[in-house]
Amino acid sequence: MAAPLDDDIESNNQDYYSLLNVRKEATAEELKASYRRLCMLYHPDKHRDPELKRQAEQLFNQVHQAYEVLSDAHSRAIYDIFGKKGLEVEGWEVVERKRTPAEIREEYERLQREREERRLQQRTNPKGTISVGVDATDLFDRYDEDFEEMPGGGFPHIEINKMHISQSIEAPLTNSDTAVLSGSLSTHNGNGGGNINMTVRRVMSAKGWGEVEFGAGDILGPLIGLKVFRNVTPRCFMTAQCGLQFSPRGLRPSCSLMTARHLDQNTMGYLQWRWGPNSAMTTSLVRDTKSSHFTLALQLGVPHSYLMMSYQYKFQDEDQTKVKGSVKTGWFGTVVEYGAERKISRHSILSATVSIGVPQGVTLKIKLARANQTYLFPVHLTDQLLPSAVFYATVGPLLVYMAVHRLIVIPYTQAQKEQELELQRKSSATDIAKKKQEAESAVLLMQESVRRIIEAEESKMGLIILNAWYGKFVSDTSQKQEKAKVIDVTVPLQCLVKDSKLILTEASKSGLPGFYDPCVGEEKSLKLLYQFRGVLHQVISADTESLRIPKQSHRIESES
């Protein structure tokens, strides 16, 4: 049976085929025969004891639900593809019943998309960035020969000279329309400002979308913009954008056009033209593979023209470690950057980059990305190229990271993992205890039927299950904990004997009445000791292996 596609599918989804002990290809007659037999076994009216009656009702309802699903061709097809959870998706009642498995899968995916769209309408998908600029030039420039001694003591003066905060939220309006509200605040050396933008995006088809933007701020003035995206071919797409800024100096129109093409499976080529306050023509080549990322870009424009090359190597480890370096040169000077990035938790990525430029000086950039929030801390160390500043900008973050990682991150993640494992153990223990209780209840309900079956089989020297165990077997008898992962299933198997035959399908035995999984996630097997025609036999069968006893060889031995 195919696994359900939902992420929230229950891991302990009950196997209806195993519960009824029928093949996945079972006919309607086989289903009905198994259902009738289990109904006779678990019918509540057969038990006078209130507790047994309550347990019988539980098992009877489970059997009835399994039969209802498997006896209906439409429900059975859905169950075979998506499991029990697939039957709970809203909308099946309006779907035509005579459909092929492929059509059912397509319909299921459509219903899932509709449910996902309803979920999207309840989400705002917030995104934000906080950038705090630190001026730490006093740490190094104070030792320069030309630096004038400032009054106020010998401690270096470090200050926050700029800050930027931006935030955006999304609000799905319809299945194809989305509104985005964003705003930002900035301050630099005591001067600041802010703006707010409203964007409405419409997905017109699988090939393109368009959006309209309205903005207002206390610096540049109101803004109206239009942006369109279009897939021209399967390997090429284009983006066009135009805007009109109502600034204090008058209208400031702008326009840009960008086209991109897949050159091969991992390489993209971009060509962009911009007209307006910062007119430029930019071309770039981007190659992204599993182990590396390379970018080469050339821009010719006013006021800046530059040539840039960057390379990033991706380590194939669970922390997603990356090291990167880049060189950028143009009319503004030359900047060399190098750094590293690493995942420090499930939702957090930390990176540090050292920027060395002429005439920019040395800057250490620290970035923390957590979920949809980004925190930036550019620390300007010096306006000059001082080897000491480069050394401390490189070694300092490494030493701090190693200390924090060893003293804080590792103990914290280990504590989290232990907590998760403990929760899983408790959940697994609770589930096993529940299944064990249900199995024990089923065994109690089987006692009378088993007694009659044994009497009938003894009268004709038929099949009698003497002992049966299910679970994980170990050869080392000293492993007591391992031995506890085996359960006695003698009574449930004897209850399944009919006309001196025991037939088990290839489904997991843990779903059979009176069974449960004593070692979730581990390999299990079934061991039987039975008597047929007065002769003892032993059989060992894998959990998902079909079994039919007595075997033909045992029949021949008994007859001889």
Give the contacts of 426 (CB within 8 A, at least 6 positions apart).
Answer: none
Asked if 159 and 135 count as a contact pair (C-beta separation under 8 A), the reply is yes
Give the contacts of 264 (CB within 8 A, at least 6 positions apart).
Answer: none
The whole-angstrom separation of Cα 181 and Cα 173 is: 13
Q: Is residue 276 part of a domain?
A: no
Side chain identity, residue 400: V
Say how many domains are in the chain.
2
Specify the pLDDT at position 557: 52
Among the residues of 344-409, which ranges form H helices?
387-404
Among the residues of 377-466, which ranges form H helices?
387-404, 410-459
HSE of 185 in the Cβ direction (CA atoms, 13 Å)?
A: 5
The whole-angstrom separation of Cα 383 and Cα 389 is: 10
**Domain end marker among 115, 146, 173:** 115
Q: Is residue 474 part of a domain?
A: yes
Please work out, in degrees rounded to the nearest 5, the angle formed at the alpha carbon of residue 13 by the alpha carbons of 7 and 18: 145
- What's the chain's Rg over C-alpha atoms? 35
Q: Is residue 549 part of a domain?
A: yes
Largest CA distance in the chain: 112
Please work out, in degrees rounded to the nearest 5, the angle formed at the alpha carbon of residue 127 by the alpha carbons of 122 and 133: 160
The whole-angstrom separation of Cα 176 and Cα 54 is: 51
**Domain end marker among 115, 143, 158:** 115
Chain length of the chain:
560
Asked if 338 and 324 count as a contact pair (C-beta separation under 8 A), the reply is yes
Neighbour count for residue 262 (Cβ, 10 Å): 14
Please work out, in degrees rounded to the nearest 5, the angle formed at the alpha carbon of residue 264 by the alpha carbons of 261 and 265: 110
CATH number at residue 49: 1.10.287.110
The whole-angstrom separation of Cα 365 and Cα 528 is: 68
The whole-angstrom separation of Cα 274 and Cα 243 is: 11
Q: Is residue 26 part of a domain?
A: yes
Place of tokens 């170990």: 474
Specify the pLDDT at position 244: 92
**Domain end marker among 93, 115, 137:** 115
Specify the pLDDT at position 104: 65
CA 276 to chain centre: 43
- For CA atoms 419, 425, 428, 430, the dihedral sign is negative
Least Cα distance to 276 among 298, 243, 306, 314 occurs for: 243
Q: Is residue 106 part of a domain?
A: yes
Domain that holds residue 537: 428-554
- Per-position pLDDT tens, the chain of length 560: 333 333 333 334 568 888 888 888 888 888 888 888 888 877 888 777 787 788 788 888 888 888 888 888 877 877 877 777 666 655 444 344 445 556 666 766 776 666 666 565 556 678 899 999 999 988 887 655 544 555 555 677 888 989 999 999 988 888 889 999 999 999 988 888 899 999 999 999 888 999 999 999 876 788 999 999 999 998 999 999 999 988 877 888 999 999 999 999 999 999 999 998 889 999 999 999 999 999 999 999 877 899 999 999 999 888 889 999 999 999 888 999 999 999 887 788 999 999 999 888 999 999 999 888 999 999 999 988 899 999 999 999 999 989 988 888 888 888 888 888 888 778 777 888 888 888 888 888 888 888 888 999 998 888 999 999 998 887 655 454 455 588 899 998 998 888 888 988 888 888 888 888 888 778 888 999 999 888 899 998 888 888 888 876 655 455 55
Asked if 489 and 502 count as a contact pair (C-beta separation under 8 A), the reply is no
Q: Is residue 412 part of a domain?
A: no
Q: Is residue 3 part of a domain?
A: no
- Beta bridge pairs of residue 225: 213, 243
Specify the pLDDT at position 192: 86
Q: Is residue 539 part of a domain?
A: yes
Hey, what are 516's tokens? Answer: 């449960």
Specify the pLDDT at position 3: 37
